[in-house]
Every structure is written in structure tokens, then in C-alpha cells.
């Protein structure tokens, strides 16, 4: 009986609006693999904020697929801030009027406090001698990547391959598409997500090379052990910028703009950048990056803005139904 | 097993009997036992202490409570609807009966991906009632009520679908006899219908319950995934897995499997007690049926 | 057929009214919202999305795999239900409990686990792969996932009906000289048929919409192993809500028609059977007596 009471009480509590709690609370709506970082980062901000203003603050986290999360915010999930892995997702909220139209100018570095890049994960000893992009299209090589149309890492992997091919001497859009099409031809399957691609590669031992974020290599090591694979840095790759924004509609209603702004600004603080580096996300701060140079080898990168004219345009030309990606499948 | 069933078991020739059992076991082993074993193997890959630690995580515990809370809330609705719908469909003839039955089945056919979306279209900020709800600060979507509604939706068919064929097979003679002997509607239901359908009802409830606790897709869309607040166990499982915490994920999944087994054990106990009661009753009275 | 010429049972209006109201609020209005949303597109746009080359291929994969899985489940589900009800064996309770596992396990866990089991390195895949049978990341993998998802439906709808069989009927048939097979086909099967069809319909319907488990084992290759729910998700990932609702509505309509057909068939079988049952009132009488005690 007591058990049942507790259960009902909990249920009622869960149904109450978040505002009901006495102290200020922020909800950070984020993508799915950022949890470890925010788990480390949030207590640091809470302490710093308490020291600076004397106010107790609670940070709640929500994690799921990036695009799914911004749709939830647009449908009423009351996130004070959004911290995503592709700019298109925040642009979607800007278009809907949830986020300032000039959100990229609201913080430094185009409002992206950290970055990562797409790298190759190969089997121990690199038996197939995979060093750079051209090796991926050799016959008999199997490439594992998350779904290139529906997932953030998959889209970044696609753009990385496309951008590299475009930067080769004498390259045209046509030759780049031919190259990407050849990469896709070597993919035996499209994994459901980044994590699923990893399981397929590491545990089911399918494929010779896995395309994923540099930041996930460390997570793979935690799950499967450092000695099980090698990270290969290609000659050039895409710079994945992880953008953040304050959700105006929510903070204006809750009266939490000040805290939300401070929370996101703190991501650029020495402590924020340091925490990112420890979680294998590349910090923007050159000093912090240098201090962790062993962990972040130099790699030539290009941004989505430079090569593809921004995320919204990349989606419209490449990932929309009937876009270039869909045409490349049918070339197969 | 009663003596009668034992006798029946011998009805098929021994060869047929053994073949059927082997087929059933092989099928179950490949499709059910191996996946279950694999779940526990993953959960225990780093030993018992890692398994127990994973279960003691506050976020896992809060997910367990929320899952049980939603299941408990949804249950009475499912029973009431299931019995009412089955009564109307199985005991009466009316126009559009097949249509009604099909409508009951429809939530099965709606992809979980879409099921959550339905309620976003109604209660979401851009949905039909969204503006009114946000004006009055009522939270349905991305909070427990929305998750309960989505769970109700996906579990609509179970109890009714379990009862309809059973009640159809039983016909309506017994109830008609009770009514003609002067029983009131409630008396008839309690004394005649309920005892007849109790196993079907129990199966239906167990199914609806297991499904309500295990649902991922629909609930995922309306949950908002707020840690420690609106994550049910299935959602928590997926999040842990995506975060490269396989042990935590499979440990949480094993809890769901165990919950299903616990409900089944509860069912067995109830069943055993009832049979025991019946046997004492039968012993007290001269046996009329065994003749 | 008009409502009951001589039905004396109470509660028709109440139970039907309640059921219809409940269904309207919980199922019909939300589905109406879905259809309304898809109508925000013009008929031409709707048609173009609904009949795109990839959409058509996805329907084929989705409905084909669901049908195949439901047939396998109908056969093995019957055997499992029969064995569980009729034959005594040690550990029966445990096996019985196991049947509900597909409901309780989150579908994503099921998909991940099945993919791992059936991949070339998995416990099952390592025996199949040398034989040239590839399951994981092929359309066959989709069928395997759907068999897992749909199994409880057939077993659980058949179980109570088999339990409800009067031993006297079979005994009577045997006494009258019927062989076991004759008893099964002539006496038991007609009684089983409505429940069997129900179980089949439910397993099929559930499989058509399944997403969570399938995407992990399907391989998701366009035109080959891409299911319709994946296309819906793909639309949502492009922020194309109306486009997503179009595919959802198409699936809904196809499923509705198929379910309706099966239910009409089922209703037909049931009325034929109850017509016969009415001639054998003696069989049900002893139970009435027992209940009256």
C-alpha cells in the first residue's frame, strides 16, 4: 500500500509544471551523446553561479536525437537552452521564432563552443591499410556509417567525403558525386545511428572502416577497450560545429534569460573548454587545445558553411527527398 | 495439470506429441530464449557488481517508478474499456460490428513513430489545443499525462481483443439463463460472466501491462526525455545504449524482462489459489462433473 | 442484420456507448488530426509522395515481411499454444511467462539483440552464414524481427480458447469413432478459427507499423530493406511533417482495409460456428450448473 502511495505521489509530482520547484531551474535540450560532457559541466556552472550571484540553480538535461529534440521544442518542450550537433536544427527553431534570427551572432565562434570532426576507425593494426579517403572506394573494402540521410553523424560523414573530393585537383561536383557514390557502394548497410554503427563494426565485426566523430572514439574505447581499434585521421575532413542557443520563447515566459545566457557563456570559460577537452570534444580556446594537443592531432578541416553554403542549403540540395544523396543511391 | 488434461495429452499418438513439443521448444528457443539470454549476458558482462550499480543509478530508479506509475494508471481504463467493448461485440449483433472491431485493432497498425505524433498534433504547441494549454499553463505533452495518453492509445486493443473470441466461443446461453432466473445485470456479470472470462481477462491485462511498460516509440515522441523526470525504462534503455553504457542499458532492459516474468508469476499464484478453492469446494460437494 | 430479435441480455447500450466514446476520444480524433494534417497538401502533392518509387518499394518490403512473419507466427503460435495448454512438462510456467517477452522488451533492445545474434559472429548467425544464409542486414532480418514482435499475439489469443475446450466434446467425438485428426479438423478447428484469425490479424497489424526493432537488423538499404516507418522518420528528419503524415495515412488505410477484411471473415466464421454451437446446448450445461454452485 505504501508502495502504491509513493507511486501515485511520484506520478502527481511528475505531472506538475517544472516551475513549481522553489529554486530556479534550467532545462538544457541536447543531442544524445553529449550527456557525459554536461554531467561534468553542469555542477561546475552551478557552483560558479552560486559563487557569483548567491542563487541556487538546478540544471535538467534532456537528450535524444538532435532533430527530434528541436521538433519537441517547437512542439512545446520547455527547454531554456538548446545545445545541438548541427546548425540546421537551431536554424529550424529560428525559422519558427523560438530562437533569435541572428542566433549565430549571439555568442562567439558562430555560437558553437566546441567542434569535432569525422575520422576513420579501423581494426587493430590497420590490416587493410586504410590511410585516407581514396582507400574507402577500393574494391573489397566495406565502409560502415550511420544512415547518411537521417542521422547527424551520417550526414557529417557524407559531407566530409564530398568536401574532400571537391578539393582534389580538377574536381567538379560531378566527380565529387562519383566519389561519394563509390563510398556508398562499399557500405553493406546503413546503421540506425552512430551507436548502432559502432556496435555493428566493433561487436558484430562487420566492415573494415567505421566513419564517426572523433569525440566518439573515446566512448568506443570505454566500451570495447583501447587496444581493439585504431583511429586514422584522413588528410582533410569536415569541421563539425556544435551550436548552442537560448530559446527566447521559453526564457521570456519563465524569466530565466539571465541564467540561460550565463549558462551558455560559461561553455566558453576556461573550465567549460577544459571539461570539453577531457570529454574528447575539441575546444575553441587555442590555449586549451594546445594543452591537449596529444589528444587532438592537427587535421585540415573545412566547415559546412565554406563548402556547402550552410546547413540549411546542404539539407535542401543533398538530404531532401530527391536530393543529390537520393540520386547517388540510384547510381548504385 | 488435471487428470482430464493428462488423459487428453495421450490422445495424440506419442510421436505426434513429441514432435509438436520439439517444434514448439525449438521455435521458442531460437526466437525467445536466446534473445533473453543475450540480454542478460550483456547486462552481466562486467560482473554482478557492475550490474547492480547500474540498477542503483537514481535515474534508472526514477525511470522504474515512472514506468510502474504509468502502467498502474492505464490499467483500470484498459479493463473497463476491454470488458465493455467485448460485451457489446461478443454478445450482441448489430450493424457495423466488424467495423468497430477493426477500429479497436487500429492502434496496432499505427506505427509507434506515428502514434506519438498524433498527440503532438493535438496537444503540441502548434496543435489543436496547444495555444489554449500553454495559456493556462497545463502540461500534457512532454510530461507524465501525455505519456499516459500515448500508452493508453497503444494498449487499447489488448484486453478487448483477448476477450472477444473467448466470449464468442462461450456464447450467451449461460447469461441468458441467469437473466431468465431473475438475476440483475450486475449479478449476472459478477456471478456468470466474470468467472467465465477471468482467465482471458487476466491474460489481456498481463499483455496490456507488459506492452504498456515496454512501449518505446509512441512514448518517446511525447516524453521530452528529461532526465530523472520523464524517462520511462524503455527510453532510459535506449539513451544509455546510445551513450555507450551497454551494461547499464541491458541491465535496465533485464528489469523490464523481469517485470514481465513477475506479472506472470503473480498470475500463476492467483490461478493456483483459485483452483485450490475450487477443489475444496468440489470436495465438499458430491462431484457432478467428473462422472 | 438487425439488432437481436430475442436477446435478453442487459447492458448493450451502456457497453457499446462507452466503448464507442472511448475509442472516439482516444483513437478516432487523433487519427482525424493525422488525416487533417496530410490534407494540408494538394491532391497532386499527396499522390506524388504516396506513390514515389521508394515509397512503393518500402510498402512492398513492409507488408511482405509482415505477412510472412504473421504466417510463420500463425503456424508456430498454434503449436506453442497447444503444447502449453495440453502437455504437461517441467518448467511450463517459465516457458509460459517467456511468451510475453516481446512485449516487455523495448523494441530497440530486441532489434539490437537480434542483430547481434544473427550477424556472422552471433550465436545463431555463425551457423547460418556458412550455409549461405544471411539474416542480419537483409530483408530476411526484417522477417525475423517481426516474428519476434508478433509471436505473443497468436499464442495469447489461442491459449484461452484451447483452455476453454470441453474435454467432453473431444471424448464424445472419439467415442463416436472419429480419428484424432478428424476431431481436430471437424470439432476443434471451427471453434479455434475465430481466435486464430484474430491472432493472425493482430500479429500482422502490429508488424506493419514496427520500427524500433526493425531498423537495427534491416540494414536500411533504399529499395531493398527500407521499411515505410523509416521513410516517415526520414521525412521528419527533413522537418517535413505533412510529407510524413501522407505516408502514415497510406499505411493506415491499407492496414485498415486488411484488418477489416480479416474481421469480416472472422465474424463470418464465428456466426457459422455459433449456429452450430446452438445445437449442442448439452455441452455447456454442466458448466452452468457448476457456476451456479
A240-252: average pLDDT = 95
Same domain, A325 and A188: yes
Q: Chain C contact for B187, CB < 8 A?
A: no
CATH number of the structural domain spanning residue A49: 3.40.190.10
Domain that holds residue C62: 43-273
Residue C31: inside a domain, yes or no?
no
Distances (CA, A) of B23 to B105, C98, C152, C188: 30, 16, 16, 21
Same domain, A89 and A134: no
DSSP for A76-117 reads: T---SEEE-SSHHHHHHHHHTTSS-TTGGGSSHHHH--EEEE
Residues B69, A17: C-beta atoms closer than 8 Å = no
Residues A194, B242: C-beta atoms closer than 8 Å = yes
Cα A109 from Cα A268, distance rounded (Å):
10
Determine the Cα angle at C76 with ends C70 and C81, to 5°.
Answer: 110
Residues C98, B28: C-beta atoms closer than 8 Å = yes
Give the pLDDT confidence of C148-181 residue by residue, as tens digits: 999 988 998 898 888 877 777 777 777 777 777 7
Contacting residues of C for B234, CB less than 8 Å apart: 106-109
Give the pLDDT confidence of C240-266 residue by residue, as tens digits: 888 999 999 999 998 888 888 888 887
Same domain, A36 and A67: yes
Lowest mean pLDDT among A95-99, B61-65, B91-95, C172-176: C172-176
Predicted local confidence at residue C212, as pLDDT: 85
Same domain, A316 and A167: yes
Q: Which of C54, C216, C237 sits opposite A150 (nearest CB)?
A: C237
CATH number of the structural domain spanning residue C219: 1.10.3720.10
Q: Chain A contact for C112, CB < 8 A?
A: yes
Q: Which of A203, A321, A330 sits opposite C238 (nearest CB)?
A: A321
Contacting residues of C for B100, CB less than 8 Å apart: 19-20, 23
Cα A182 from Cα A161, distance rounded (Å):
10
Predicted local confidence at residue C3, as pLDDT: 45
Tell me: pLDDT of A61 over 70. Answer: yes
- What is the C-alpha end-to-end distance of chain A, expressed in Å? 62
Same domain, A195 and A259: no
Q: Which of B66, B143, B243 sits opposite A35 (nearest CB)?
A: B243
Whose CA is closest to C65, among C283, C211, C177? C211
Residues B38, C113: C-beta atoms closer than 8 Å = yes
Q: pLDDT-based confidence at C6, cuts 50/70/90? A: low
Cα A77 from Cα A61, distance rounded (Å):
12
Residue C21: inside a domain, yes or no?
no
Q: Chain C contact for B81, CB < 8 A?
A: yes
Q: Which of B87, B285, B289 sits opposite C15 (nearest CB)?
A: B87
Distances (CA, A) of C172 to A204, B13, C274, C286: 56, 18, 19, 15
Minimal CA separation from B196 to chain A, in Å: 29
Substitution target in C220, C223, C224 with the highest count of A β-carbons within 10 Å is: C220
Q: Are C214 and A190 in contact (CB under 8 A)?
A: no
Cα A88 from Cα A310, distance rounded (Å):
8
Q: Which residue of A has its CA nearest to C240?
A: A320
Contacting residues of A for B227, CB less than 8 Å apart: 60-63
Residues C219, A190: C-beta atoms closer than 8 Å = yes
- What is the C-alpha end-to-end distance of chain B, expressed in Å? 18
C-alpha cell at A264: 551558455
Residue C20: inside a domain, yes or no?
no
Cα B49 from Cα B100, distance rounded (Å):
51
ipTM computed for the complex: 0.83
Domain that holds residue A196: 115-237+299-331
Tell me: pLDDT of C274 over 80. Answer: no
Number of domains within chain C: 1
Minimal CA separation from A316 to chain C, in Å: 9
CA A302 to chain CA centroid, Å, is: 16
Same domain, A259 and A121: no
Helix (H) or strand (E) segment spanning residue C249: helix C241-277
Going by the DSSP 8-state scheme, the letter that residue A315 receives in this structure is I
> Beta strand pairing status for A143-146 and A190-191?
parallel
Q: Taking the CA of residue A237 as centre, how many other CA atoms within 13 Å lie in the half-sphere pointing to its CB?
A: 27
Number of domains within chain A: 2
Predicted local confidence at residue B9, as pLDDT: 44
Residues A75, B66: C-beta atoms closer than 8 Å = no
Residue C165: inside a domain, yes or no?
yes
A109-130: average pLDDT = 95
Same domain, A260 and A306: no
Whose CA is closest to B105, among A245, A26, C27, A67? C27
Same domain, A121 and A80: no
Residue C121: inside a domain, yes or no?
yes
Cα A209 from Cα A133, distance rounded (Å):
11
- What is the C-alpha end-to-end distance of chain C, expressed in Å? 37
Q: Chain A contact for C216, CB < 8 A?
A: yes
Amino acid at each position: 500500500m505504501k508502495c502504491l502511495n509513493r507511486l501515485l505521489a511520484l506520478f502527481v509530482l511528475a505531472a506538475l509544471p517544472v516551475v513549481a520547484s522553489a529554486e530556479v531551474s534550467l532545462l538544457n535540450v541536447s543531442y544524445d551523446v553529449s550527456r557525459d560532457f554536461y554531467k561534468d559541466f553542469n555542477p561546475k556552472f552551478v557552483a560558479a553561479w552560486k559563487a557569483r550571484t548567491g542563487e541556487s540553480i538546478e540544471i535538467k538535461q534532456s537528450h535524444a536525437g538532435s532533430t527530434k529534440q528541436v521538433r519537441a521544442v517547437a512542439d512545446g518542450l520547455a527547454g531554456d537552452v538548446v545545445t545541438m550537433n548541427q546548425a540546421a536544427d537551431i536554424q529550424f527553431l529560428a525559422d519558427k521564432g523560438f530562437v533569435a534570427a541572428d542566433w549565430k551572432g549571439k555568442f562567439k565562434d558562430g555560437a558553437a563552443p566546441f567542434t569535432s570532426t569525422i575520422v576513420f576507425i579501423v581494426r587493430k593494426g590497420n590490416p587493410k591499410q586504410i590511410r585516407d579517403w581514396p582507400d574507402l572506394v577500393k574494391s573489397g573494402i566495406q565502409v560502415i556509417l550511420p544512415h547518411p540521410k537521417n542521422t547527424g553523424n551520417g550526414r557529417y560523414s557524407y559531407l566530409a567525403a564530398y568536401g574532400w573530393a571537391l578539393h582534389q585537383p580538377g574536381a567538379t561536383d560531378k566527380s565529387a558525386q562519383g566519389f561519394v557514390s563509390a563510398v556508398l557502394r562499399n557500405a553493406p548497410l546503413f546503421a540506425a545511428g552512430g551507436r548502432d554503427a559502432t556496435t555493428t563494426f566493433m561487436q558484430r565485426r562487420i566492415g573494415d572502416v567505421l566513419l564517426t566523430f572523433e569525440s566518439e572514439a573515446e566512448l568506443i574505447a570505454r566500451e570495447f577497450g583501447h587496444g581493439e581499434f585504431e583511429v586514422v585521421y584522413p588528410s582533410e575532413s569536415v569541421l563539425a560545429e556544435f551550436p548552442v542557443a537560448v530559446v527566447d520563447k521559453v526564457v521570456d515566459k519563465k524569466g530565466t534569460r539571465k541564467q540561460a545566457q550565463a549558462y551558455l557563456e560559461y561553455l566558453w570559460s576556461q573550465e567549460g573548454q577544459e571539461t570539453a577537452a577531457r570529454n574528447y570534444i575539441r575546444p575553441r580556446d587555442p590555449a586549451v587545445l594546445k594543452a591537449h594537443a596529444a589528444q587532438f592531432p592537427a587535421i585540415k578541416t573545412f566547415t559546412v558553411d565554406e563548402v556547402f553554403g550552410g546547413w540549411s542549403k546542404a539539407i535542401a540540395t543533398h538530404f531532401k527527398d530527391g536530393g543529390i544523396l537520393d540520386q547517388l543511391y540510384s547510381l548504385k | 495439470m488435471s487428470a482430464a488434461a493428462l488423459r487428453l495429452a495421450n490422445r495424440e499418438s506419442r510421436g505426434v506429441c513429441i514432435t509438436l513439443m520439439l517444434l514448439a521448444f525449438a521455435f521458442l528457443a531460437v526466437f525467445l530464449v536466446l534473445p533473453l539470454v543475450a540480454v542478460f549476458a550483456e547486462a552481466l558482462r562486467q560482473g554482478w557488481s557492475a550490474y547492480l550499480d547500474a540498477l542503483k543509478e537514481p535515474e534508472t530508479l526514477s525511470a522504474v517508478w515512472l514506468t510502474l506509475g504509468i502502467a498502474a494508471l492505464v490499467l483500470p481504463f484498459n479493463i473497463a474499456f476491454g470488458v465493455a467493448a467485448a460485451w457489446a461485440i461478443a454478445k450482441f449483433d448489430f450493424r457495423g460490428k466488424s467495423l468497430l472491431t477493426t477500429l479497436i485493432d487500429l492502434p496496432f497498425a499505427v506505427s509507434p513513430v506515428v502514434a506519438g505524433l498524433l498527440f503532438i498534433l493535438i496537444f503540441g504547441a502548434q496543435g489543436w489545443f496547444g495555444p489554449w494549454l500553454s495559456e493556462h499553463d497545463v502540461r500534457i505533452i512532454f510530461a507524465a499525462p501525455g505519456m499516459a495518453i500515448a500508452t493508453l492509445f497503444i494498449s487499447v486493443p489488448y484486453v478487448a481483443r483477448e476477450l472477444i473470441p473467448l466470449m464468442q466461443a462461450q456464447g450467451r446461453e449461460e447469461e441468458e439463463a441467469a437473466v431468465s432466473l431473475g438475476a440483475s445485470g450486475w449479478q449476472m456479470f459478477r456471478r456468470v460472466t466474470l468467472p467465465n472470462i477471468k482467465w482471458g481477462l487476466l491474460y489481456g491485462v498481463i499483455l496490456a501491462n507488459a506492452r504498456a511498460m515496454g512501449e518505446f516509440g509512441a512514448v518517446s515522441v511525447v516524453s521530452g526525455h528529461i532526465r530523472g523526470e520523464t524517462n520511462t525504462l524503455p527510453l532510459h534503455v535506449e539513451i544509455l545504449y546510445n551513450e555507450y553504457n551497454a551494461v547499464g542499458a541491458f541491465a535496465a532492459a533485464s528489469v523490464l524482462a523481469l517485470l514481465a516474468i513477475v506479472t506472470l508469476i503473480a498470475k500463476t499464484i492467483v490461478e493456483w489459489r483459485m483452483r485450490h478453492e475450487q477443489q475444496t469446494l468440489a470436495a465438499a460437494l458430491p462431484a457432478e462433473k467428473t462422472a | 442484420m438487425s439488432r437481436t430479435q430475442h436477446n435478453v441480455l442487459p447492458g448493450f447500450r451502456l457497453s457499446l456507448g462507452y466503448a464507442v466514446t472511448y475509442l472516439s476520444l482516444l483513437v478516432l480524433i487523433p487519427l482525424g488530426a493525422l488525416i487533417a494534417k496530410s490534407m494540408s497538401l494538394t491532391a497532386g502533392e499527396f499522390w506524388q509522395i504516396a506513390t514515389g518509387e521508394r515509397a512503393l518499394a518500402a510498402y512492398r518490403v513492409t507488408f511482405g515481411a509482415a505477412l510472412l512473419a504473421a504466417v510463420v507466427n500463425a503456424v508456430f503460435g498454434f503449436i506453442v499454444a497447444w503444447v502449453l495448454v495440453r502437455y504437461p512438462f517441467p518448467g511450463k510456467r517459465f516457458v509460459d511467462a517467456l511468451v510475453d517477452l516481446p512485449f516487455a522488451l523495448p523494441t530497440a533492445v530486441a532489434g539490437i539483440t537480434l542483430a547481434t545474434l544473427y550477424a556472422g559472429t552471433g550465436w545463431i548467425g555463425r551457423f547460418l552464414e556458412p550455409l549461405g544464409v544471411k539474416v542480419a542486414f537483409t530483408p530476411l532480418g526484417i522477417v525475423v524481427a517481426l516474428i519476434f514482435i508478433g509471436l505473443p499475439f497468436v499464442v495469447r489469443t489461442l491459449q484461452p480458447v484451447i483452455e476453454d475446450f470441453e474435454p467432453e466434446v473431444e471424448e464424445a467425438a472419439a467415442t463416436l469413432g472419429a480419428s484424432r485428426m478428424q476431431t481436430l479438423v471437424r470439432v476443434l478447428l471451427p471453434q479455434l478459427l475465430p481466435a486464430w484469425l484474430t491472432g493472425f490479424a493482430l500479429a500482422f497489424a502490429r508488424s506493419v507499423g514496427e520500427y524500433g526493432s526493425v531498423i537495427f537488423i534491416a540494414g536500411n538499404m533504399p529499395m531493398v530493406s527500407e521499411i515505410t516507418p523509416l521513410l516517415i522518420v526520414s521525412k521528419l528528419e527533413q522537418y517535413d511533417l505533412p510529407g510524413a503524415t501522407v505516408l502514415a495515412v497510406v499505411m493506415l488505410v491499407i492496414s485498415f482495409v486488411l484488418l477489416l477484411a480479416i474481421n469480416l471473415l472472422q465474424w463470418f466464421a464465428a456466426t457459422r460456428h455459433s449456429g452450430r454451437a446452438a445445437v449442442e446446448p448439452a455441452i455447456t450445461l454442466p458448466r452452468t450448473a457448476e457456476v451456479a454452485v
